[in-house]
Structure 1
Amino acid sequence: MNIKTILLGTAAGLMSVSAAAAADLPGEPVPAAVDYVKVCDTFGKGFFYIPGTETCLDISGRVRAKAEIDFDDAVTFKADGRVQFDARTATEYDTLRSFLEIKTTNAAGFEVGKAFIQLSYFTIGFAADFMDGFGGVYGDTDRNNFGSTDLTAQVMVDDLGGGFYVGLAGIISDSGDKLVASSDGDWEVQGIVGISGQPWGSAAIAASYLDATESFLVKAGAEFTVTDELSVAASAAYDDAKEETYLALGASYTATSALTVYANVGYEVDAEEFGATVGADYGIVSGLTLTTEVVYDETDEFTGLVMLSRTW
């Protein structure tokens, strides 16, 4: 054994003794274990593991400040916001998901926007509506909105192959609080069949029967990817209660990495009423978008919109 080996061994021994002695000194705090937040890439971008659990959470939101312009009257200034919590856990019965959205109201308060539990194909709670989930036009205004805002129980099978999916929903609604329903409330049944994720785009057809009016709604829509920059959306709907047919057509063009322009037209066939929207979205920085719109409605009036949206 040479002198270098002896000296290194002695130094290592002294360090071990010193560390052990220091650990025994009174009053020395014991460092707490740190449970760092870890990225969860199982469910896509934005999720992270809730420390100490196998549940992944994504927190997203939006704040908007806007000026609504009536060219014949005045300018109205508004602001609104929402925050969304999406928690998912992989289980032996597929993904268990819970979703909660809280948003501002016109009365300067807050309300629950969506709140549902989802396990595999099954969803129950205040969830998205089949009638509004496809075929909409572009921009801040959807002229073909038939959606319900009530409690629902849904079955959605989205792994039929080839991008096809099918869904069935039962809805119960009461007047008053949309998050409260009872068995004697009005009920609605919805169904949808569609295809998504195709190189050419997506398409769907949905139908709804409403007990309150003993009437039905039918809506068909599609969005076509014409080029990488240009997409076109079209929809048609029939409201049996109003005996009215609605048609809508829209186009969106990504002019640059920051600028997207769009236009929509809508027509109520039996009422012979026409409306149109022209607008643009400009990405100032990542997460901040400036939107401008000019809208012509069926009353022969023009309105405008200037809006800043911050999303995360």
Structure 2
Amino acid sequence: MNIKTIMLGTAAGLMTVSAGYAADLPGEPVPAAVDYVKVCDTFGKGFFYIPGTETCLDISGRVRAKADIDFDDDVGFAVDGRVQFDARNGTEYGALRSFLELKTEKTGKGIEVGKAFIQLGYVTVGFAADFFDGFGAVYGDTDRNKFGSTDLLAGVMVDDLGGGFYAGLQAIAGGTALDAGTTDDFEIQGIVGISDQPWGEAAIAASYSDATESFFVKAGAELTVTDELSAAASVAYDDAAEDLFLAVGASYAATDMITAYANFGYTIDSTTGADDTYGVTVGADFAVASGLVLTSEVVYEEAGDEFTGLLQLSRTW
């Protein structure tokens, strides 16, 4: 080893020691520890811990752009969207959950609260869901056979009975499912059902409205026929109008990208003596990419003897 090699090695060593020593000199800023976001698997897929807390948060949403087509008149365009915040953590009284949904309606002008509630264990207070919107024969985007309103101020008690069975009871003040114009009256809703079964799910719900002094009842089921085919049926009776609603529907996943569906609804009017009416919906969902679905739909309403259509692009996350 020659003198030049020894001198170069010594200089490199001194530079390394000096740099390490300089990094530890007083007054030098020390980088803060990074608090990485951690996955929370306690409450299901999509949740993560809010840094520095034991609260798990899930953020989801949807944006839709669509064209409503009246084959005898014109075409209307609309855009809507929503974002949902679901925060949960465990307590000695059970899971504590707060849920907030912000949404824009079809014109996209202004933001309103879709849902907002606090849930501790089986007790929920706030703007929550309508029992009648959770089941029944409806595939696609149309609101056929979706009875009731989701704009509710409610106190809810729901009990998980085990084996997939559940029961719920809620009192609603303000707008009601049977008379959305009332603000002083109340409505009581109850539901009993079973879900998460290999064959599908079923439920029956009933309500009493103080505004109309009448009741409303609906029963429905969705059956898993095969991995690709599902079928649904529902029946509902409106005591105030003395109307009976019947509906059946089917959905078939033809490929990983294409799902076709059809619904048939029938209304029996026993009050006015008017003729019974029916409606038919036929449509398909095209999975363009993960989370992106193109929906094409045609609806026939016998009451007005009219055809309408829908072309919609929906992005969910």
What is the TM-score with the length of structure 2 in the denominator?
0.88
Residues 23-60 of structure 1: CA deviation (Å, up to 9, x unaligned): 2254x321012111111111111111100001111110
Letter matched to residue 268 of structure 2? V
1:15 offset after TM fit, Å? 7.7
1:145 offset after TM fit, Å? 2.0
CA distance in 2, matches of 1:164, 1:174: 29
Q: Does 1:151 align with 2:153?
A: yes
Structure 2 partner of 1:286: 290
CA distance in 2, matches of 1:67, 1:106: 11
Letter matched to residue 237 of structure 2? Y
Structure 2 partner of 1:128: 129
Would you identify which runs of 4 or more consecutive aligned residues in structure 1 move more than 6 Å?
14-18
1:161 offset after TM fit, Å? 2.1
Q: Which ranges in structure 2 are unaligned for 5 or more consecutive residues?
A: 1-12, 177-181, 270-274
Letter matched to residue 306 of structure 1? L
Letter matched to residue 156 of structure 2? Q
CA distance in 2, matches of 1:116, 1:260: 34
- Aligned residues of 2:137 and 2:263 also touching (Cα < 8 A): no
What is the TM-score with the length of structure 1 in the denominator?
0.89
Matches within 5 A, 1:21-36: 21-26=22-27, 28-36=28-36
- Aligned residues of 1:136 and 1:142 also touching (Cα < 8 A): no
Structure 2 partner of 1:5: none
> Which stretch has the larger CA shift, 253-262 or 127-136?
127-136
1:134 offset after TM fit, Å? 1.2
Compared CA separation, residues 214 and 46, structure 1 to 2 (3 A): same
Structure 2 partner of 1:6: none
Structure 1 partner of 2:9: none
Structure 2 partner of 1:247: 246
1:105 offset after TM fit, Å? 2.5
Q: Does 1:69 align with 2:65?
A: no
Matches within 5 A, 1:226-241: 226-241=225-240
Alignment identity in percent? 69
Q: Does 1:113 align with 2:118?
A: no
Q: Which ranges in structure 1 are unaligned for 5 or more consecutive residues?
A: 1-11, 176-180
Letter matched to residue 287 of structure 2? G
Q: How many residues end up aligned between the 2 structures?
A: 293
Letter matched to residue 288 of structure 2? I
CA distance in 2, matches of 1:16, 1:249: 80
Structure 1 partner of 2:96: 96
User: Could you tell me which of 267, 280, 287 is aligned with 1:276?
Assistant: 280
Compared CA separation, residues 136 and 126, structure 1 to 2 (3 A): farther
Letter matched to residue 113 of structure 2? V
Compared CA separation, residues 54 and 136, structure 1 to 2 (3 A): farther
User: Could you tell me which of 272, 280, 304 is aligned with 2:309?
Assistant: 304
- Aligned residues of 1:166 and 1:192 also touching (Cα < 8 A): yes
1:20 offset after TM fit, Å? 5.3
Letter matched to residue 64 of structure 1? R
1:92 offset after TM fit, Å? 1.5
CA distance in 2, matches of 1:256, 1:174: 42
Letter matched to residue 71 of structure 2? F
